[in-house]
Structure 1
Amino acid sequence: MSKDRDMSQALLDQVNQALRLGTALRIQGGNSKAMLGRPVTGELVDTRNHRGIVSYDPTELVITARAGTPLLEIEAALHEAGQMLPCEPPHLGVEATLGGAVAAGLSGPRRPWAGAVRDYVLGTRVITGHGKLLRFGGEVMKNVAGYDVSRLMAGSFGCLGLLTEVSLKVLPQPRQCLSLCLPMGRQQALAALAEWGQQPLPISAACHDGEALYLRLEGGEGSVQSARQRLGGDELDSGFWHDLREQRLAFFDDPAPLWRLSVPIASGALNLPGRQLIDWGGAQRWLKSSASAQSLRAAVAQVGGHVTGYAPGEDSSAPLPAALLRYHRALKQQLDPQGIFNPGRLYPDL
């Protein structure tokens, strides 16, 4: 406990010094998500020394770890106990940390069926812009203006505070996992997914690369084998989903800029310039295209979606509607009134 206090105190001291001097802070863990959002200038806060699993009881299905703990370390401990992080947060680098995974809020192929990162955050310890280390969620509830602060940290990219500790709900690994490849076109695949989505099939991942539909079936042996016989296709190495999550498929080797499109799951095929990879059963589309951000956002907005660029720059984050931006500003003012945490990382004036 003494070592934990020392590590927390070092981070707290750095934040309080920044508040006294009016210095911006650039929060960083493994830096594996540096391509997302705008570049931040400021004094570096490296969380990687604040690491280690604080508590983990498999019978409680909860793990608590410090923000600088490598994701690999957490997943190894869970795997040994036959459990997992259901949201499959992408690493995008061997140095990825728990704090970075929560701050980025990214989820893997299981997202539409299991939920997002924020759905599994039970509690956090956060250093706020008031220079205090507070606990949110879990056993002690301290919310700001009615907000669930712990879950708001997911996807905030460090703009609301400095995460020091996270408690996550975990789940048992499925008893059986089987992956399939079914050759078919994009329209046929989207129609099939829409139909299967209304049926009790144990699908936990679905992807289409333009030529074939890839499915992952998870659950009890009986339900998986029954679905396998019904759906047909060829068995696929389950490593495919890891490569998809980590952007290691051949599709991602294309040198064109990478865009992430989030759209309603029943959007159908999108006529956009470049190459597409359908993920999340249709709700997430990866696009390799040199088209402008403005033209892509205009096209995707017509189906009720938004676009995120996977390269640092002014156009990487989708602009917020005015009403939503007011909420963001109000929340930022509550938690970081001096604006020292990752200023401008998500939006220019936050």
Structure 2
Amino acid sequence: MSEMVDRDDSQQLVERVEQAREPGGRLTIIGQGSKHFMGCEPQGESLDTTDHCGVIEYEPGDLVLTARSGTPLVQIEQLLAQQGQCLGFEPPRFALNGSAAGTLGGAIASGLSGPRRPWAGAARDFVLGMTMVNGEAQRLHFGGQLIKNVAGFDLPRLIAGSMGTFGLILDISIRVLPVRPAAVTLQHVLPASEALAKMIEWQRQPLPLSGLVYGQGVLSVRLSGTAEGVLSAREIIGGDELNDAASWWDGLRDQTGAWFAEPGAVRRISCAAAAELPEIGGEWVLDWGGAQRWYRGDAPLAMLEAYARKIDGQLSCFRGADRKKPIPLADPRLVEIHGQLKSAFDPHGVFDSGRLLVQPPLAAGLQSSFLSDPAAK
């Protein structure tokens, strides 16, 4: 286990935000840089969180961990593993220099979740509370450290996935899960249509699913639960057992597997799991039981956009293409709401917002009444 460093750099970070309030000041938050490729090129001076690290509190019996935003995910997972626990949303640890990387703050700010997401929940579902710094260099406290006493506006879920556009996360309290005592991965060689039908059928049954993905002609099913439950489900699923399954799922989670290693832009469509399959040439991977679809190929962007609209999905370029286009919001109608929230949290435009969507005009005179509510602090 790598050494866990405990360092509180919050005062220095707050001072940096205060300095950036000067005209023309702009900051872009960065941890280990494992998600630098997402969205547009970051704008502004880098605000490094890696020196603000360490676990503040961990109560295995309560299934709650509180840590600073710059704490490496690898160290957190090593600590949890000693107690037979894990991060249930399986945050991706995109490799840097061949090693798994990423921080807790980056995992929550990006809102990314791994293969277990449809059955365990998304990153935002595990956040109980947090401390953040807004564009006024004010420390704001939301939520709590126990599931039963979280009160006030559920703003931590709003911050999850905001890509640092609303402010700087200082520390986060998250719910963790016990590692299931038994797990097995089974595989079937099937055409895409049959694979999707199987995925939908199995998701409608009370099976201990924790991963369901189809790619390169192979349907892979991960079962996690009690030994008896996994054995019973295995008889229903059938198929061949995958050896070294943990490494295989890590390759999918961290996008280090063979499919993601191929050259070319990778696009992502988020949609209903049962949405019809595309009739578009190229290579597809159906993750999350069909609800997350990865594409690599030469199809025109307009064709992919038309397909996404047809199935009421959201299309985005995940990596490897034009970085002039930011990460879109799921619904265009949310742009105005995002602009209002941006104005409330960051009225001076201190934090880089170009990565998530085109910079919205700041709403003049918007009153952030919800931030002054005592229950939200």
TM-score of the superposed pair, with normalisation by structure 2? 0.87
The count of aligned residue pairs is 344
Match of 1:250 among 258, 269, 275: 258
Alignment match, 2:308? 300
Q: Distance in 1 between matches of 2:87 and 2:150?
A: 24
Q: Distance in 2 between matches of 1:197 and 1:95?
A: 32
Structure 2 residue 79 is matched with structure 1 residue 96: no
Q: Give secondary structure in 2 for the equivalent of 1:20.
A: coil
Structure 2 residue 40 is matched with structure 1 residue 34: no
Using the TM superposition, give the Cα deviation of residue 119 of structure 1 relative to its aligned residue in structure 2, in angstroms.
Answer: 0.1
Alignment match, 2:121? 115
Using the TM superposition, give the Cα deviation of residue 4 of structure 1 relative to its aligned residue in structure 2, in angstroms.
Answer: 5.6
Q: Which amino acid aligns with 2:345?
A: L
Q: Distance in 1 between matches of 2:233 and 2:267?
A: 33
Q: Give secondary structure in 1 for the equivalent of 2:50.
A: coil
Q: Give secondary structure in 1 for the equivalent of 2:344.
A: helix
Structure 2 residue 127 is matched with structure 1 residue 125: no
Structure 2 residue 280 is matched with structure 1 residue 278: no
Alignment match, 1:287? 295
Structure 2 residue 185 is matched with structure 1 residue 179: yes
Q: Which amino acid aligns with 1:24?
A: R
Structure 2 residue 220 is matched with structure 1 residue 227: no
Structure 2 residue 248 is matched with structure 1 residue 240: yes
Q: Which amino acid aligns with 2:72?
A: P
Bigger shift: 261-270 or 97-106?
261-270
Q: Give secondary structure in 1 for the equivalent of 2:61.
A: helix
RMSD in angstroms over aligned alpha carbons? 1.8
Paired residues for 1:313-332 under 5 Å: 313-318=323-328, 321-332=331-342
For residues 149-171 of structure 1, what are the alpha-carbon distances to aligned partners after superposition, in whole Å with 9 as ceiling and x for unaligned? 21111110000000110110001
Q: Contact 1:186–1:210 at 8 Å: present in 2 too?
A: no
Q: Distance in 1 between matches of 2:48 and 2:42?
A: 14
Alignment match, 2:367? none
Using the TM superposition, give the Cα deviation of residue 303 of structure 1 relative to its aligned residue in structure 2, in angstroms.
Answer: 0.3
Alignment match, 2:163? 157
Paired residues for 1:257-268 under 5 Å: 257-268=265-276
Q: Give secondary structure in 1 for the equivalent of 2:22.
A: helix
Q: Contact 2:26–2:45 at 8 Å: present in 1 too?
A: yes
Using the TM superposition, give the Cα deviation of residue 141 of structure 1 relative to its aligned residue in structure 2, in angstroms.
Answer: 7.1
Match of 2:347 among 313, 337, 347: 337
Q: Residue 201 and residue 142 in structure 1: after superposition, are their counterparts in 2 closer, same or farther (change >3 A)?
A: closer
Task: Give ranges in structure 1 of 5+ residues lacking alignment.
Answer: none
Q: Give secondary structure in 2 for the equivalent of 1:118.
A: helix
Q: Residue 82 and residue 304 in structure 1: after superposition, are their counterparts in 2 closer, same or farther (change >3 A)?
A: same
Q: Residue 95 and residue 248 in structure 1: after superposition, are their counterparts in 2 closer, same or farther (change >3 A)?
A: closer
Alignment match, 2:174? 168
Q: Contact 2:144–2:151 at 8 Å: present in 1 too?
A: no
Q: Which amino acid aligns with 2:114?
A: G
Q: Contact 2:129–2:143 at 8 Å: present in 1 too?
A: yes
Q: Distance in 1 between matches of 2:86 and 2:206?
A: 23
Bigger shift: 288-297 or 76-85?
288-297
Q: Kindly, what percent of the aligned residue pairs are identical?
A: 40
Paired residues for 1:64-103 under 5 Å: 64-93=66-95, 94-103=100-109
Q: Give secondary structure in 2 for the equivalent of 1:310.
A: strand
Q: Distance in 1 between matches of 2:83 and 2:114?
A: 21
Q: Distance in 2 between matches of 1:60 and 1:193?
A: 34
Using the TM superposition, give the Cα deviation of residue 320 of structure 1 relative to its aligned residue in structure 2, in angstroms.
Answer: 5.8
For residues 212-235 of structure 1, what are the alpha-carbon distances to aligned partners after superposition, in whole Å with 9 as ceiling and x for unaligned? 110000111111011112221111
Q: Distance in 2 between matches of 1:266 and 1:55?
A: 41
Alignment match, 2:199? 193
Q: Contact 1:63–1:169 at 8 Å: present in 2 too?
A: yes
Q: Distance in 1 between matches of 2:347 and 2:30?
A: 21
Q: Residue 332 and residue 196 in structure 1: after superposition, are their counterparts in 2 closer, same or farther (change >3 A)?
A: same
Q: Which amino acid aligns with 2:346?
A: D
Q: Give secondary structure in 2 for the equivalent of 1:276.
A: strand
Q: Contact 1:135–1:142 at 8 Å: present in 2 too?
A: no
Q: Distance in 1 between matches of 2:332 and 2:84?
A: 45
Alignment match, 1:9? 11
Structure 2 residue 63 is matched with structure 1 residue 57: no
Q: Contact 2:43–2:354 at 8 Å: present in 1 too?
A: no
Using the TM superposition, give the Cα deviation of residue 318 of structure 1 relative to its aligned residue in structure 2, in angstroms.
Answer: 2.9
Q: Give secondary structure in 2 for the equivalent of 1:134.
A: strand
Task: Give ranges in structure 2 of 5+ residues lacking alignment.
Answer: 1-5, 361-377
Q: Contact 1:135–1:141 at 8 Å: present in 2 too?
A: no
Q: Distance in 1 between matches of 2:282 and 2:114?
A: 23
